Protein backbone atom coordinates (compact mmCIF):
# COMPACT_ATOMS: atom_id res chain seq x y z
CA UNK A 1 0.00 0.00 0.00
CA UNK A 2 1.28 3.49 -0.88
CA UNK A 3 2.19 5.66 2.12
CA UNK A 4 -0.58 7.75 3.63
CA UNK A 5 -0.29 10.85 5.81
CA UNK A 6 -2.29 10.41 9.02
CA UNK A 7 -3.15 13.77 10.60
CA UNK A 8 -4.26 13.94 14.22
CA UNK A 9 -5.97 16.69 16.16
CA UNK A 10 -5.23 16.35 19.88
CA UNK A 11 -8.03 17.40 22.24
CA UNK A 12 -11.20 15.40 21.73
CA UNK A 13 -9.55 13.34 18.98
CA UNK A 14 -6.23 11.62 19.68
CA UNK A 15 -6.57 12.26 23.42
CA UNK A 16 -9.18 10.69 25.64
CA UNK A 17 -11.07 12.86 28.11
CA UNK A 18 -8.26 11.98 30.55
CA UNK A 19 -5.76 13.66 28.18
CA UNK A 20 -4.11 10.35 27.30
CA UNK A 21 -3.48 8.31 24.15
CA UNK A 22 -5.24 4.97 24.62
CA UNK A 23 -3.17 1.79 24.36
CA UNK A 24 -5.08 0.53 21.30
CA UNK A 25 -4.81 3.83 19.42
CA UNK A 26 -1.10 4.12 20.21
CA UNK A 27 -0.45 0.53 19.09
CA UNK A 28 -2.35 1.13 15.83
CA UNK A 29 -0.47 4.35 15.06
CA UNK A 30 2.90 2.73 15.73
CA UNK A 31 1.90 -0.16 13.47
CA UNK A 32 0.93 2.29 10.71
CA UNK A 33 4.35 3.94 11.04
CA UNK A 34 6.08 0.56 10.81
CA UNK A 35 4.26 -0.09 7.53
CA UNK A 36 5.61 3.14 6.04
CA UNK A 37 2.79 5.59 6.71
CA UNK A 38 3.52 9.08 8.05
CA UNK A 39 1.85 10.32 11.25
CA UNK A 40 1.64 13.99 12.25
CA UNK A 41 -0.16 16.25 14.72
CA UNK A 42 -2.21 19.33 13.79
CA UNK A 43 -3.45 21.24 16.83
CA UNK A 44 -4.49 24.61 18.13
CA UNK A 45 -2.07 24.09 21.00
CA UNK A 46 1.41 25.63 21.08
CA UNK A 47 4.29 23.17 20.67
CA UNK A 48 5.20 23.25 24.37
CA UNK A 49 1.74 21.77 25.13
CA UNK A 50 1.88 19.13 22.39
CA UNK A 51 5.50 17.93 22.47
CA UNK A 52 4.71 15.30 25.13
CA UNK A 53 2.44 13.48 22.65
CA UNK A 54 4.83 14.08 19.74
CA UNK A 55 7.55 12.25 21.67
CA UNK A 56 5.21 9.56 23.06
CA UNK A 57 4.39 8.50 19.48
CA UNK A 58 8.04 8.79 18.42
CA UNK A 59 7.14 11.15 15.58
CA UNK A 60 9.72 12.38 13.08
CA UNK A 61 7.37 14.58 11.03
CA UNK A 62 6.65 18.33 11.05
CA UNK A 63 3.84 19.55 13.31
CA UNK A 64 1.09 22.15 12.90
CA UNK A 65 0.63 24.33 16.00
CA UNK A 66 -1.61 27.33 16.70
CA UNK A 67 -4.11 26.12 14.06
CA UNK A 68 -1.62 26.73 11.25
CA UNK A 69 0.07 29.91 12.51
CA UNK A 70 3.22 27.91 13.30
CA UNK A 71 4.30 24.94 11.16
CA UNK A 72 7.72 23.52 12.00
CA UNK A 73 9.84 20.40 12.35
CA UNK A 74 10.94 19.66 15.94
CA UNK A 75 13.64 17.26 14.73
CA UNK A 76 15.01 19.38 11.87
CA UNK A 77 15.79 23.07 12.44
CA UNK A 78 16.77 23.40 8.76
CA UNK A 79 13.22 22.52 7.67
CA UNK A 80 11.25 25.31 5.97
CA UNK A 81 9.16 26.42 8.96
CA UNK A 82 6.28 28.88 8.71
CA UNK A 83 5.47 31.34 11.50
CA UNK A 84 2.70 33.76 10.56
CA UNK A 85 1.75 36.01 13.49
CA UNK A 86 -1.00 38.65 13.67
CA UNK A 87 0.10 42.23 13.12
CA UNK A 88 0.26 44.05 16.45
CA UNK A 89 -1.81 46.95 15.11
CA UNK A 90 -4.60 44.51 14.23
CA UNK A 91 -4.46 43.00 17.73
CA UNK A 92 -4.75 46.43 19.30
CA UNK A 93 -7.74 47.25 17.10
CA UNK A 94 -9.43 43.97 18.07
CA UNK A 95 -8.77 44.49 21.79
CA UNK A 96 -10.06 48.07 21.63
CA UNK A 97 -13.20 47.01 19.80
CA UNK A 98 -14.11 44.16 22.18
CA UNK A 99 -13.66 46.37 25.24
CA UNK A 100 -17.28 47.45 24.75
CA UNK A 101 -18.41 43.83 25.26
CA UNK A 102 -18.38 41.69 28.38
CA UNK A 103 -15.44 39.31 28.49
CA UNK A 104 -13.49 37.62 31.25
CA UNK A 105 -9.94 37.73 29.90
CA UNK A 106 -7.69 38.26 26.89
CA UNK A 107 -4.53 36.23 26.37
CA UNK A 108 -1.86 36.74 23.71
CA UNK A 109 0.71 34.10 22.79
CA UNK A 110 4.01 34.95 21.14
CA UNK A 111 5.30 31.46 20.41
CA UNK A 112 6.03 30.27 23.97
CA UNK A 113 5.63 33.60 25.74
CA UNK A 114 2.18 34.35 27.20
CA UNK A 115 0.59 37.70 28.02
CA UNK A 116 -2.46 37.56 30.30
CA UNK A 117 -4.62 40.68 30.59
CA UNK A 118 -6.24 39.81 33.94
CA UNK A 119 -4.77 37.45 36.53
CA UNK A 120 -6.86 34.28 36.78
CA UNK A 121 -5.59 31.11 38.46
CA UNK A 122 -7.66 28.80 36.25
CA UNK A 123 -6.29 30.37 33.06
CA UNK A 124 -2.73 30.32 34.41
CA UNK A 125 -3.04 26.63 35.26
CA UNK A 126 -4.20 25.81 31.71
CA UNK A 127 -1.51 27.86 29.97
CA UNK A 128 1.31 26.91 32.31
CA UNK A 129 2.01 23.61 30.49
CA UNK A 130 5.62 23.61 29.32
CA UNK A 131 6.61 26.39 31.76
CA UNK A 132 6.23 29.40 29.45
CA UNK A 133 7.24 32.94 30.34
CA UNK A 134 4.02 34.60 31.58
CA UNK A 135 3.50 38.37 31.73
CA UNK A 136 0.49 39.71 33.64
CA UNK A 137 -1.17 43.05 33.03
CA UNK A 138 -2.67 45.37 30.43
CA UNK A 139 -1.88 44.00 26.96
CA UNK A 140 -1.72 47.49 25.47
CA UNK A 141 1.28 48.16 27.74
CA UNK A 142 3.07 44.81 27.88
CA UNK A 143 2.52 43.28 24.42
CA UNK A 144 5.10 44.82 22.10
CA UNK A 145 5.46 42.27 19.29
CA UNK A 146 3.22 40.49 16.82
CA UNK A 147 1.48 37.59 18.61
CA UNK A 148 1.09 34.12 17.13
CA UNK A 149 -2.47 33.98 18.44
CA UNK A 150 -4.95 35.99 20.52
CA UNK A 151 -7.51 34.40 22.85
CA UNK A 152 -10.66 36.01 24.22
CA UNK A 153 -12.41 34.32 27.14
CA UNK A 154 -16.10 35.09 27.71
CA UNK A 155 -19.20 33.22 28.80
CA UNK A 156 -21.09 31.26 26.15
CA UNK A 157 -23.66 33.98 25.36
CA UNK A 158 -21.07 36.76 25.12
CA UNK A 159 -18.75 34.56 23.06
CA UNK A 160 -21.37 34.39 20.32
CA UNK A 161 -21.89 38.17 20.42
CA UNK A 162 -18.14 38.84 20.24
CA UNK A 163 -17.69 36.36 17.37
CA UNK A 164 -20.48 38.08 15.44
CA UNK A 165 -18.71 41.39 16.00
CA UNK A 166 -15.33 40.00 14.91
CA UNK A 167 -16.89 38.60 11.75
CA UNK A 168 -18.62 41.88 10.94
CA UNK A 169 -15.71 44.22 11.68
CA UNK A 170 -12.42 42.31 11.40
CA UNK A 171 -13.11 39.47 8.93
CA UNK A 172 -10.59 40.82 6.38
CA UNK A 173 -7.62 40.50 8.74
CA UNK A 174 -8.31 37.63 11.17
CA UNK A 175 -9.73 34.11 11.47
CA UNK A 176 -11.49 33.10 14.68
CA UNK A 177 -12.46 29.73 16.10
CA UNK A 178 -14.00 28.57 19.36
CA UNK A 179 -12.68 26.17 21.92
CA UNK A 180 -14.99 23.47 23.19
CA UNK A 181 -16.27 23.21 26.76
CA UNK A 182 -15.52 23.74 29.58
CA UNK A 183 -13.82 27.05 28.70
CA UNK A 184 -15.53 29.37 26.24
CA UNK A 185 -12.58 30.86 24.40
CA UNK A 186 -12.38 32.52 21.00
CA UNK A 187 -9.03 31.84 19.34
CA UNK A 188 -7.83 34.37 16.78
CA UNK A 189 -5.09 33.94 14.18
CA UNK A 190 -4.08 35.85 11.08
CA UNK A 191 -6.46 35.82 8.12
CA UNK A 192 -6.06 32.85 5.76
CA UNK A 193 -4.58 30.48 8.33
CA UNK A 194 -6.00 27.12 9.34
CA UNK A 195 -4.81 23.56 9.83
CA UNK A 196 -5.31 22.71 6.14
CA UNK A 197 -2.76 25.36 5.12
CA UNK A 198 -0.15 23.76 7.38
CA UNK A 199 -0.99 20.21 6.33
CA UNK A 200 -0.72 21.14 2.65
CA UNK A 201 2.77 22.53 3.30
CA UNK A 202 3.83 19.34 5.10
CA UNK A 203 2.24 16.93 2.60
CA UNK A 204 4.01 18.65 -0.29
CA UNK A 205 7.32 18.29 1.54
CA UNK A 206 6.64 14.59 2.21
CA UNK A 207 5.51 13.96 -1.36
CA UNK A 208 2.10 12.62 -0.32
CA UNK A 209 -0.90 13.67 -2.46
CA UNK A 210 -4.11 14.99 -0.96
CA UNK A 211 -6.05 11.80 -1.74
CA UNK A 212 -3.74 9.84 0.58
CA UNK A 213 -4.25 12.13 3.58
CA UNK A 214 -6.42 10.75 6.40
CA UNK A 215 -7.30 13.49 8.93
CA UNK A 216 -9.16 13.18 12.23
CA UNK A 217 -10.89 16.01 14.13
CA UNK A 218 -13.81 16.98 16.33
CA UNK A 219 -14.17 20.78 16.53
CA UNK A 220 -14.69 23.82 14.32
CA UNK A 221 -10.95 24.47 14.05
CA UNK A 222 -10.82 21.13 12.17
CA UNK A 223 -13.35 22.06 9.47
CA UNK A 224 -10.86 23.08 6.77
CA UNK A 225 -8.58 20.14 7.58
CA UNK A 226 -11.39 17.58 7.32
CA UNK A 227 -12.60 19.18 4.08
CA UNK A 228 -9.06 19.26 2.62
CA UNK A 229 -8.07 15.68 3.41
CA UNK A 230 -8.75 12.92 0.91
CA UNK A 231 -10.35 11.05 3.82
CA UNK A 232 -11.70 13.47 6.42
CA UNK A 233 -12.90 11.69 9.55
CA UNK A 234 -15.11 13.26 12.23
CA UNK A 235 -14.98 11.76 15.71
CA UNK A 236 -18.23 10.47 17.20
CA UNK A 237 -18.01 13.28 19.75
CA UNK A 238 -17.48 15.87 16.99
CA UNK A 239 -19.70 18.88 16.33
CA UNK A 240 -22.57 18.45 13.81
CA UNK A 241 -21.08 20.82 11.19
CA UNK A 242 -17.90 18.71 11.07
CA UNK A 243 -19.83 15.47 10.72
CA UNK A 244 -21.78 17.03 7.84
CA UNK A 245 -18.67 17.51 5.69
CA UNK A 246 -16.66 14.45 6.78
CA UNK A 247 -16.13 11.46 4.50
CA UNK A 248 -16.52 9.19 7.49
CA UNK A 249 -17.71 9.37 11.09
CA UNK A 250 -15.99 7.12 13.60
CA UNK A 251 -16.52 6.35 17.27
CA UNK A 252 -15.55 8.81 20.00
CA UNK A 253 -12.14 9.79 21.34
CA UNK A 254 -12.83 7.51 24.33
CA UNK A 255 -13.69 4.54 22.07
CA UNK A 256 -10.55 4.29 19.90
CA UNK A 257 -12.20 6.04 16.97
CA UNK A 258 -8.85 6.65 15.25
CA UNK A 259 -7.73 3.03 15.54
CA UNK A 260 -11.06 1.78 14.14
CA UNK A 261 -10.70 3.73 10.88
CA UNK A 262 -6.97 3.05 10.40
CA UNK A 263 -7.37 -0.70 10.92
CA UNK A 264 -10.08 -0.75 8.25
CA UNK A 265 -8.49 1.68 5.78
CA UNK A 266 -4.86 0.59 6.03
CA UNK A 267 -5.53 -3.13 6.51
CA UNK A 268 -3.85 -3.20 9.91
CA UNK A 269 -4.38 -6.11 12.28
Q: How many CB atoms lie within 10 A of CB 141?
A: 9
β-bridge partners, 5: 38, 213
Q: Catalytic residue among 9, 11, 218, 256, which?
A: 9
C-alpha dihedral (84, 86, 87, 90), degrees to nearest 10: 160
Check if the beta carbon of residue 131 is closer than 8 Å to that of residue 46: no
Residue 8's nearest CA partner among 207, 211, 267, 261 is 261
Q: Does the active-site annotation cover 9?
A: yes
Backbone phi, psi, residue 249, to 5°: -120, 125
Residue 10's nearest CA partner among 40, 55, 35 is 40
**Residues annotated as catalytic (active site), given as ranges:** 9
Amino acid sequence: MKPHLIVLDLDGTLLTDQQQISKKTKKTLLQAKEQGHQVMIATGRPYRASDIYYHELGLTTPIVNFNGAYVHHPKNIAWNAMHTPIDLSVVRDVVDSVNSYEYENIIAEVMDDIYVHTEDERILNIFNMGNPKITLGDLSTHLQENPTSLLIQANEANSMIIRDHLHAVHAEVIEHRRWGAPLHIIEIVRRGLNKAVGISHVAKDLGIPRERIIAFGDEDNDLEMIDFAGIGVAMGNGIPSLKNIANEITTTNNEDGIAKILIERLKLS
